[in-house]
Chain A
């Protein structure tokens, strides 16, 4: 029987807050494939190209035939619990914060057995659904969940260490000026966010009132970002940077750098300002209370992987933003940094682009799923997914393919 998520409790001002700790992060290079799969929400294991065996934990050779040809493949995620235990005392600082902690040995349907973290509703001997999740140190770990959903199962404290459910949390959406920012704010409110701050740049310009609480925020203005951090930094648990600024224009046809500079301001310098102002505060509160600061979401264009024709300088700015986002992930642990790569947006700047295009509610729903699922890398929209598939297959041919129109 699951307990429900406790309501958000104000911190005791006299108590020393829980430090933002993370579980042991050391892994072999081979084992990083677990994190890569977990970041994308996939249940993938190393499989032998020679004999076909799946193996866990990851190694440099096949455990059965010693073949070197190991590839990461999605595998069946069913399993059966063979044994379970509860750790009540741990020598590890992170787990000492979180005991009792349940773990167990699971026989995976795809072959190997694995030591996994157990959801509190999992009992011995029963069927379980296995998932790969990123823990607070950003490593991929095995979770065993009940075979069928149980009431309020997302409230499990162990699962909440791996996920970033906005329920009860306070969210900053950076740009309430666009339909995408407003849909994001509304979706977070609908998902039970305790508070949503919605950034408005140039308050002197008219525009629709965003959902939640409108706050002055201009990512191109360092003073504005600092003011926001000073005022609200202690009250933000999730940051969602929706300030996507995509404008058409080839590199040669524009003939100036004014617009490219604007793109860099919003795609690169803006997030950099925000990270420098808010990042340390959020990271410091990453272990604090029932609703700790937990996630930082960057919405980027899939063009970050390879330039789309007619959007050349924008793609370069997005590539810089993607690199920044990846770097931020390393520095912001134990927070999760979610990178959402989107296809062409359904907005006035993509009128000449044929569908399918990404609608505001679609993007917001995808980000919500990523937060609840604890994912760090998502791709939104059919075109973005196609580009990503081709990029995984061969980045060099993708760039040349896109360049030829």
Chain B
């Protein structure tokens, strides 16, 4: 049996389980709120076309609208200025081989519960590696914070001085990109960067360094607590939007 056939057989028998890492796309799900002078990402909206009625007697369907960065979504390298000139940096040109890759999950849920401004540092990553082994090249690194268990105001956690949510510092992101050659960085919060990451140098380091080196981002994921520290296989193909900077998507994890 080929390895693919064995894989398919394991899927059929349930030996490999599929875990949905996706939040439901709904109008209420918080989107990133930039200062009002900037353009804003549209939240998810849905308008009914027909529902077995005079507009369409036997069928139900909707039009929907949203930003590329609404709900559980994928960030392509072109999203950030540091990745704007890279080849194949948009949702339609990224090699599809990238859309299936294993993940390492760094559990910082305890620290994040105690401190919404928890920062992922190189030391935290190295401590995880001491326990779980080195992060293999080409892996996703997911920061588990259990933030997805929060909802509404607690999830966005916006205060007068902006959002307060966990994220990595510049050194940690550079370490992951340069020393570990990760494929991307994924989180449960609204952005791959910490809520207060505007204060870092450079601002928003996860965006700056990841996208600057052609790596990807995944945001607003859920169920990271159901993943093993190593070895889950992540399926994360964004919509093939022409020239797109990202897209809402269904993120699936295969665990054996």
Contact = CB atoms under 8 A, between A and B. Distances in A.
25 contacts: A202-B30, A203-B152, A204-B28, A204-B30, A204-B152, A204-B153, A204-B155, A204-B156, A205-B33, A205-B156, A205-B158, A206-B153, A206-B158, A206-B159, A206-B160, A218-B27, A220-B45, A222-B46, A223-B27, A223-B46, A224-B27, A224-B28, A258-B40, A259-B39, A262-B40
A275 to B, nearest CB: 15
B123 interface: no
Interface string B18-50: 000000000110100100000110010111100
A60 interface: no
Interface in B46-65: 46-48
Contacts of B153: 203-206
B42 to A, nearest CB: 8
Nearest to A348: B36
Interface in A255-274: 256, 258-259, 262
Main SS of the interface on chain A?
loop
B245 to A, nearest CB: 14
Given A202-B30, A205-B156, A223-B46, 15 more contacts: A204-B28, A204-B30, A204-B152, A204-B153, A204-B156, A205-B158, A206-B158, A218-B27, A220-B43, A220-B45, A221-B43, A222-B45, A222-B47, A222-B48, A224-B27
A150 to B, nearest CB: 51
Contacts of A258: 39-40
B155 to A, nearest CB: 7
A258 B160 CA distance: 26
B50 to A, nearest CB: 14
A380 B184 CA distance: 55
Given A224-B27, A259-B39, A204 B158 contact: yes
B44 to A, nearest CB: 9
Given A203-B152, A204-B152, A223-B27, A256 B158 contact: no
A205 B29 CA distance: 11
Size category of the binding interface on chain A: 10 to 19
B39 A221 contact: no
Given A204-B30, A259-B39, A262-B40, A221 B45 contact: yes
Interface string A215-239: 0001011111000000000000000
Main SS of the interface on chain B?
mixed
Contacts of A223: 27, 46
Interface string B127-163: 0000000000000000000000000110110111000
Task: Identify the 5 closest CB pairs spanning chains A and B, nearest first.
Answer: A221-B27, A204-B152, A204-B156, A204-B153, A204-B30
A262 B36 CA distance: 12
Contact of A256 (B28, B39, B160): B39
Contacts of B40: 258, 262
Interface string A178-215: 00000000000000000000000011111000000000
B55 to A, nearest CB: 14
Contacts of B47: 222
Nearest to B41: A258
A202 B30 CA distance: 8
A11 B45 CA distance: 37
B71 to A, nearest CB: 14
Contacts of A218: 27
A258 B38 CA distance: 11
A218 B152 CA distance: 15
A259 B40 CA distance: 8
B225 to A, nearest CB: 22
Interface string A316-340: 0000000000000000000000000
Contacts of A204: 28, 30, 152-153, 155-156, 158
B34 to A, nearest CB: 12
Nearest to A218: B27
Contacts of B30: 202, 204
Nearest to B48: A222
Nearest to B26: A223
Contacts of A205: 33, 153, 156, 158
Contacts of A203: 152-153
A256 B152 CA distance: 31
A205 B163 CA distance: 10
A223 B153 CA distance: 20
A206 B159 CA distance: 7
B145 to A, nearest CB: 17
A130 to B, nearest CB: 49
Interface centre among B27, B33, B46, B155, by most chain A C-beta atoms within 10 angstroms, is B27
Nearest to B151: A204
Contacts of B158: 204-206
B148 to A, nearest CB: 14
Interface centre among A203, A204, A205, A223, by most chain B C-beta atoms within 10 angstroms, is A204
Contacts of A206: 153, 158-160
A14 to B, nearest CB: 32
A220 B43 CA distance: 10
A204 B155 CA distance: 8
Nearest to A256: B39
B243 to A, nearest CB: 15
A203 B155 CA distance: 11
Nearest to A261: B42
Contacts of B33: 205
A218 B158 CA distance: 19
Nearest to B152: A204
Nearest to A216: B28
A218 B27 CA distance: 9
Contacts of A222: 45-48
Contacts of B159: 206
Interface string A242-286: 000000000000001011001000000000000000000000000
